Amino acid sequence: MDAVETKPSPGYGKPPWIFRGSALYQLHLVRAEKARTCIPKEFKLVEAFGYTLGGFFLASYEDSPVGAFDELVVIAGLVWNRPTSCAWATKVYVNNNEACSHGRKDVGLPSQVARFSKTITAVSSQSRGRSGFLNMIPIGSEFDNPNDHLNVQVTEIESFGVADSCNISLISTAVPALKFDRWMGPTIKMSLPSFSGGTEFNPNLLKYSCQIECRVQPVKPLKVSRTLPLTNVDDKEQQSLQDYGKQNLTTYVMLSKPILALKFNQMKMQVEAPIVLYQCSNSLETTTTTVSSVP
């Protein structure tokens, strides 16, 4: 039987949904045993030598169906969609309530509302805020001083428990300006298909397509660190925080080893309406109807 297309809510209008801005796509090596804990049993993880390919997608949208907003998609790993593969997101953070609701209900994403705090620190001047935070990644004259760096702090606002909370800092250290830094890379088109669903807001398992047209430039990976939410903690509390970091999959993926970072300049992203692969009643464990199969 053919896959069934979902019916989106009217808030975003009719698909496809268009997003314009810039993004950083950073790939990490993630232990397969960790990633597998969040992958639905219907899907098979892509792995080699005990690792899968995860990471994060950090975007700053200047224009979208709901206006400008920021997004951090944490990718646990890749799952088979033969002959290729699809990404599986373990968490999505946005600083727009409507984008969060759309992600949860229409796209089946584990979206949460978060605060994105962005500052650039320079040796010769005080820290200063800057909009369009991805524009700071070593290109052209954005950094006149090689010691300048950006700090993007993502703090979850809606917390449903310790295991879901997020307080992450992403830091980019600039490099000395070079003539070729002004070149933003070739224009390419790519498809980034993803699986989603299996959440309390959308229990069905879905597949959706992202068509991206942008100029791609390799950049130095962002340095990721976990910002501790508490101050003046004693040794016992400090150990508790360390244990939490080990148990939290989102934090684990963000802190795993980066292998490649690509900046998407002048990005246009077109997202199609998801199609239903498996219809579920209310959880991943109660699949009632298989609409289409995934090898």
Q: Evaluate if residue 225 carries a pLDDT over 80.
A: yes
- For the chain, strand residue ranges (E) read 4-5, 17-31, 51-63, 69-81, 84-94, 111-122, 125-129, 149-156, 167-173, 187-191, 194-197, 205-208, 210-218, 223-226, 257-271, 275-280, 287-290
| Percent of the chain whose predicted confidence (pLDDT) is above 70 | 67
The predicted structure's pLDDT at residue 186? 87
CA atoms within 13 Å, Cβ hemisphere of 245: 16
pLDDT > 50? residue 123: no
Question: Token pair 């090689």 is at which residue?
Answer: 146
What is the per-residue pLDDT for 116?
A: 93
Length of the chain: 295
pLDDT, tens only, 270-284: 999 999 999 886 544
136-157 mean pLDDT: 58
pLDDT tens sequence across 73-112: 999 999 998 888 999 999 999 999 999 999 999 999 999 9
Q: Kindly state the greatest CA–CA separation across the chain.
A: 64
pLDDT tens figures, 194-217? 999 999 999 999 999 999 999 999
pLDDT number for residue 238 = 42
Cα separation, 100 vs 110, whole angstroms: 9
Q: What percent of the chain has pLDDT over 90?
A: 54
What is the pLDDT, as a whole number, of residue 158? 55
Within 8 A by CB and 6+ apart from 110, the residues are 89, 90, 91, 92, 104, 199
Mean residue pLDDT of the chain comes to: 78
Average pLDDT over residues 157-166: 52
Q: How large is the average pLDDT for residues 141-149? A: 46
Tell whether the model's pLDDT for residue 228 goes beyond 70: no
Q: What confidence category does residue 118 fall into, taking pLDDT thresholds of 50, 70 and 90?
A: confident
Between residues 126 and 68, the one the model is more confident about: 68
144 has pLDDT over 90:
no
| Of 98 and 174, the one with more pLDDT | 98
- Which pLDDT score, from 0 to 100, does residue 274 have? 96
